[in-house]
Chain A
């Protein structure tokens, strides 16, 4: 069965650089979520989109922005990267008829 695809899987950036993470949801899933999991921590909700519109916003820094495109894939843009942004970033998707969220493998971002 198709799963959530995230790219890249690993990313190394310097402080103050920018990064773009991509998420391709499961086909026919119209809701996308982004979560951040710091080392040894539980995942924290950042932002979500439904039908290409932002549906909810969590603890996402102002330096981050995200959008969902017409093909339902989503991108998380991160600017002025800080050491503390080093984390696993997960994308999850859900179809409208279900409450179950399916997670991608994550992008491991390391900021040096």
Chain B
């Protein structure tokens, strides 16, 4: 069974702090990994896609890395802002589908 685990399940930080969200997966097969943001009751916004041949991707204050050997990906958010408050989901590409982790609920306090 393909499993994706995200740690921590929830995180509350003061504004301005740098933070790291973790994602691990059990299958060592070489597929891509995608990070999403979801606001309550809303759709999924794609943040970053790391192809299987890549090690990291950056977009603005976000940086995602992929370590296939250890089965881990991290999402680094720099200088967090209250607007970053949302649920962050990582998803592992397995063939023609995405398998999601349970997400990390992030709250950035002003």
Contacts and interface: CB of A to CB of B under 8 A. Distances in A.
A68 interface: no
Contact of A45 (B43, B89, B98, B103): B98
A62 interface: no
A72 interface: no
A86 interface: no
**Chain A interface residue count: which class?**
20 to 34
Contacts of B49: 98-100
Interface string B88-107: 01010101111111110000
A56 B97 contact: yes
Interface in A39-59: 41-45, 48, 50, 55-56, 58
Interface of A: 31, 33, 35, 41-45, 48, 50, 55-56, 58, 88, 90, 92, 98-106, 108
Interface of B: 32, 34, 36, 41-46, 49, 51, 89, 91, 93, 95-103
27 contacts: A33-B96, A33-B98, A42-B100, A42-B102, A43-B98, A44-B100, A45-B97, A45-B98, A48-B97, A56-B96, A56-B97, A58-B97, A90-B44, A92-B44, A92-B98, A99-B34, A99-B93, A100-B46, A100-B49, A101-B34, A102-B46, A103-B36, A103-B44, A103-B45, A103-B46, A104-B43, A105-B43
